[in-house]
Amino acid sequence: MSRIYRAGAAALIVAGFATTAQAQRPQIETKKVDGTENVYIFRNGNHQSIFIVTKDGVIATDPIAYGRPTGGQDYIAEIRKVTDKPIKYLIDSHYHYDHIAGGKPFKDAGATIVAHKRAKERLALLKDPNTPLPDQVVGDRRTINLGGTRLELRYLGLNHSDSNLVMLLPKEKLLFVVDTIPVGSFPGRGFIDIYPLETEDFIKKVLALDWDRLIPGHPGQPNGRLGTKKDAQDILTLMQDASAEMKKMGQDGKCWEPAEKEFKLPKYGSWPGYENGLQFVARRYCALWGRGT
Ligand SMILES: [Zn+2]
């Protein structure tokens, strides 16, 4: 009997270790981006942002502290493991709390918070106690030069929200894009209020910029990889396929039902997130082609 119990326990342990890499990784992790001298990815759970260390100070982005009361402090503690330079800027990628809640410790540390102008309008209406308002706003573009690093903030039109800034490091040929272009996975819940047609134009503009690697706001699949222009093109194609698939049903009067039930994209069936995400993609395109919004 005891042998059987031991075997059972061993099997349980093996099963425990055989869970996904996601379950095994630590909650918080900071990694320097390969091939760069000073660009880091800070990950907290399934969210990530970048920070850049220069001789004149640090440029941080998204605090990613929604539902994580110490998340902002934890982020600063990770920065402090790399440098004691002052944190000069905190750049918000857009107004969604899962990415930008938790900015207060950065502000307290003296950082200037920068976001798109519509992000500030939105945040001012909602008054979330965990999300300080931006100190400075950006229209279509702004360049931050600090300690030899050039960071370009670009607003490329409506996409995942009405206020996403993409962040380009031209020397490093890196682009930080949050939420609009998932890397290696099917779109999920966040698709619910995307601007579908405008996002196609947005991705074409992203593809026209000069970069080699895309850092997403959620770790890329598999293994937290960075994206390429092919990944961006794949999402553009996916959106065009999804839109075409729903267009006929919507114009035939089949939205919301039965179109949402019939909608399938078997070409993407093997992508991570397909089973769960399909309903959100279906609903968004039903709204577009069946309702006009
Ligand atoms: Zn978002």
SS3 (DSSP) at 182: coil
| Alpha carbon of 169 to ligand 1 centroid (Å) | 21
**DSSP notation for 227-242:** B-HHHHHHHHHHHHHH
Percentage of residues of the chain with pLDDT beyond 70: 92
Distance, CA of 64 to CA of 103 (rounded, Å): 9
Average pLDDT for 258-279:
98
Q: pLDDT digit string (tens) for 92-117?
A: 999 999 999 999 999 999 999 999 99
pLDDT at residue 20, as a whole number? 55
| Alpha carbon of 258 to ligand 1 centroid (Å) | 29
Q: pLDDT digit string (tens) for 211-244?
A: 999 999 999 999 999 999 999 999 999 999 999 9
| Alpha carbon of 281 to ligand 1 centroid (Å) | 15
Q: What contacts 150, CB < 8 A, 6 or more positions away?
A: 143, 144, 169, 170, 171
- Which residues are placed with Cβ below 5 angstroms of ligand 1, an ion? 96, 179
| Alpha carbon of 253 to ligand 1 centroid (Å) | 30
Angle (CA) 66-72-76 rounded to 5° is 155
User: Which of these, 257, 245, 280, 212, lies nearest to 33 by C-alpha position?
Assistant: 212
User: Which of these, 107, 108, 115, 268, lies nearest to 184 by C-alpha position?
Assistant: 268
Distance, CA of 225 to CA of 87 (rounded, Å): 27
Confirm if 61 and 134 have CB atoms less than 8 A apart. Answer: no
Q: pLDDT digit string (tens) for 15-49?
A: 444 445 556 899 999 999 999 999 999 999 999 99
| Alpha carbon of 181 to ligand 1 centroid (Å) | 11
| Alpha carbon of 89 to ligand 1 centroid (Å) | 20
Element of type H or E holding 199: helix 196-208
Please classify residue 279 by burial: count the beta carbons closer than 10 Å to its beta carbon, then call 0-12 exposed, 13-18 middle and 19+ buried. middle
| Alpha carbon of 172 to ligand 1 centroid (Å) | 25
Confirm if 42 and 51 have CB atoms less than 8 A apart. Answer: yes
| Alpha carbon of 131 to ligand 1 centroid (Å) | 15
SS3 (DSSP) at 160: coil
| Alpha carbon of 114 to ligand 1 centroid (Å) | 17
| Alpha carbon of 160 to ligand 1 centroid (Å) | 7
Tokens of 156: 């490329």
